[in-house]
Amino acid sequence: MRTKYHTTSLSIPLALSLFAAPAAMAQDMVLGFAGGAGPTGVPAILALESLQEQGLSTEVIEFDSPDILTQALLNGQVQIAVMGPATLFAADLAGADLQMLAKNNQNDYLIIASPEVESCADLDGKTVAYHSTGSTTTAHLLTWLRETCPEAEPNYMVLSGSANRVAALLNGQIDGTLVRLEDWMAITRGEDDRAKVLTMLVESQSDLITGAVVGSAGQIEGSRALIEDFLDELGNQFQNIYADPIAYSSLAVDYLPEMELADVEAVYSHFAETKMFPLSEALSPESIEATLQFYTDAGRIEQGALSVDQVANFTFGGGE
């Protein structure tokens, strides 16, 4: 039996009226995503489906709004979610109690550039695109530029959508940008003479959490056993990717309807090559502290506004 899927773009009150009463029972587990799952979310979906062998009822809900997903976590309609730190931090600053429970994926951002750009310094005076002024990806891009070539002064432009920025670079409309690895691989399969990978941020920003399994502190204990089983299965999924990414792609493609099998194979092969999924999904206080400091330096949170123990739960996976 396949996991049930729902998508919602409803307002918060109406969405909760549909997904609320009854709150998820002990025999159920619901996984939420803020937007589409994408290739980095498929392991979590397959981990959830593997729990059906234990007689559990499982469900995946893709929410258009991070706010609705946050409310679903807080009210127990969703036991776990895969999301980035920005959503969690914003929710906790507003009074929520969301906590990271485990890592889902490593930093999957790339800086790509036109062929004549040999280094960060060569972006001086060039057109560099980013998603939006306040986006997380922009913070990663600007941090890399500031740390790598502080004297460079690119001409910035806003261009929403990672795949759109890949296309713009290939068409010669921009000189550099930050994109997700999966979009670069899906469009180019890793090779295109119209562009190059200048750097993978997993190399220079390896201590930052960019994708995490998240739960509500107020709901965790009631679902602890299920969450632990889920995290064990998630670790198995990561190992399966590293063991045979081509075979894994044949399973993942069913959950990625907008991608062809060859593109999915290219994505997961590169994921395996670059160790894009954690070898241990357990969290470390050091990585959480570094991630908090990153968002503080980026102006998203005030110094000391959130603590490591407030935003992370280290009781799953035994720590690192």
CATH code for the domain in which residue 143 is found: 3.40.190.10
11-20, 106-115, 206-215: least confidently modelled range: 11-20
2 pLDDT higher than 80: no
> Of 178, 204, 230, which residue constitutes the final position of a domain?
204
Residue 320 domain-assigned? no
In the chain, alpha helices (H): 12-19, 42-50, 66-75, 85-93, 136-148, 162-170, 181-188, 201-204, 217-220, 224-243, 245-252, 261-273, 285-297, 308-311
78 within domain boundaries: yes
Same domain, 192 and 145: yes
Predicted local distance difference test score (pLDDT) of residue 281: 73
Residues 227 and 252 in one domain: yes
Do 63 and 174 lie in one domain? The reply is no
- What pLDDT shows up at residue 34? 84
Mark whether 15 and 87 lie in a shared domain: yes
Statement to judge: residues 239 and 169 lie in one domain:
no
Residues 101 and 138 in one domain: no
* Count of domains observed in the chain: 2
What confidence category does residue 27 fall into, taking pLDDT thresholds of 50, 70 and 90? Answer: low
> Quick check: is 167 in a domain?
yes
Q: Are residues 199 and 257 located together in one domain of the fold?
A: no
| 261 or 203, which is more confident | 261
Specify the pLDDT at position 22. 39
Rounded mean pLDDT of 216-222? 90
State whether 132 and 264 are in the same domain: no
Q: How confident is the model at residue 4 (pLDDT cuts 50, 70, 90)?
A: low
Q: Which domain holds residue 242?
A: 4-105+208-311
Q: Are residues 99 and 227 both part of a single domain?
A: yes
Point out the domain boundary residue: 204, 237, 254.
Answer: 204
- Average pLDDT of the segment spanning 221-239: 93
**The pLDDT value given to residue 9:** 38
The verdict on residue 317 lying in a domain is: no
Same domain, yes or no: 73 and 220: yes
Task: State residue 19's pLDDT score.
Answer: 39
Residue 159 inside a domain? The answer is yes
